[in-house]
């Protein structure tokens, strides 16, 4: 879809609609939608800066790995990476928010664009970096 702000509402609604029949709790669903919204907003604001808006792809799947069942969402653009400013600002909170509310964020930057993969555990207690016990 076009990487424009008017698409964010549709992305959020479609994601909620997809999550509901899966039985994902409302708390986890809200975290998933918030993280995906942050990633999409980054694409919209940064990937095509100074250019005509390009495309954004959002793909969500139920994934199974050695840790169990999870929701994995990939958000991809075909623009250019823009490094966060080194100086503290009132912006630049998207990636930390995604990391704080998910069970894993992977970022891949290439000359063809950026892909963010965000994972959310579904089974058992959700363990996040801030509340892990060792």
Cβ atoms of 97 and 90 within 8 Å: the answer is no
Across residues 49-71, what is the average pLDDT?
A: 87
CA dist., res. 131 & res. 134, Å (int): 10
Give the three-state DSSP class for 9: helix
Domain housing 120: 5-131
Cβ atoms of 14 and 43 within 8 Å: the answer is no
Helices (H), the chain: 8-19, 26-42, 94-101
For residue range 119-132, what is the model confidence (pLDDT) as tens digits? 999 865 334 444 33
Query: For residue 85, is pLDDT > 70?
Result: no
| 74 band by pLDDT with thresholds 50, 70 and 90 | very high
| 14 band by pLDDT with thresholds 50, 70 and 90 | very high
Per the structure, the count of domains in the chain is 1
Query: For residue 96, is pLDDT > 60?
Result: yes
State the chain's maximal CA–CA distance in angstroms.
48
For residue range 4-13, what is the model confidence (pLDDT) as tens digits? 999 999 999 9
Q: How far is CA 59 from CA 18, 62, 97, in A?
A: 11, 10, 20
The predicted pLDDT at position 90 comes to 57
Q: What backbone torsions phi and psi does residue 55 show, to the nearest 5 degrees?
A: -110, 160
DSSP label at residue 79: S
At 12, which helix (H) or strand (E)? helix 8-19
The CATH number of whichever domain residue 34 belongs to comes to 3.30.565.10
Q: What backbone torsions phi and psi does residue 84 show, to the nearest 5 degrees?
A: -60, 150
């Amino acid at each position: 879809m076009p990487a424009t702000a008017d698409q964010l509402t549709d992305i959020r609604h479609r994601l909620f609609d997809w999550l509901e029949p899966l039985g994902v709790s409302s708390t986890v669903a809200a975290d998933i939608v918030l993280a995906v919204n942050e990633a999409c907003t980054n694409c919209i604001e940064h990937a095509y800066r100074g250019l005509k808006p390009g495309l954004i792809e959002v793909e969500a799947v139920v994934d199974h790995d050695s840790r169990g069942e999870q929701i994995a969402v990939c958000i991809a653009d075909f623009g250019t990476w823009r490094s966060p400013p080194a100086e503290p600002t009132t912006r630049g909170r998207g990636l930390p928010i995604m990391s704080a509310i998910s069970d894993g964020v992977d970022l891949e930057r290439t000359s063809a664009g950026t892909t963010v993969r965000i994972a959310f555990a579904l089974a058992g207690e959700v363990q996040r970096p801030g509340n892990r016990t060792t």
